[in-house]
Amino acid sequence: MKSALIAAAILAAASPAFAQSHDHHAAPAAKPAAAEGVGVVRSVDVKAGKAVIAHEPMPAINWPAMTMSFKVSDKAGLAAVKPGQKVRFTLSGQTVTAIRPY
Ligand SMILES: [Cu+2]
Half-sphere exposure of 54 (CA within 13 A, CB side): 8
CA of 64 to the centre of ligand 1 (A): 7
Q: Using the mean position of ligand 1's atoms as its centre, give its distance from the Cα of residue 44 in Å.
A: 16
Amino acid residing at 68: M
- What stretch of H or E contains 13? helix 2-13
pLDDT at residue 34, as a whole number? 83
Note the pTM of the prediction, 2 decimals: 0.69
Encode pLDDT of 72-102 as tens digits.
999 999 999 999 999 999 999 999 999 999 9
Domains in the chain with CATH codes: 2-101 (2.40.50.320)
Question: For residues 94 and 71, is the Cβ–Cβ distance under 8 A?
Answer: yes
Q: What is the pLDDT of residues 20-67, one digit of tens each?
A: 433 334 444 455 678 999 999 999 999 999 999 999 999 999 999 999
- The enclosing H or E element of 97 equals strand 95-101
Quote the ligand 1 centre to 66 CA distance (angstroms): 5
Give the strand pairing for 34-45 and 86-92: antiparallel
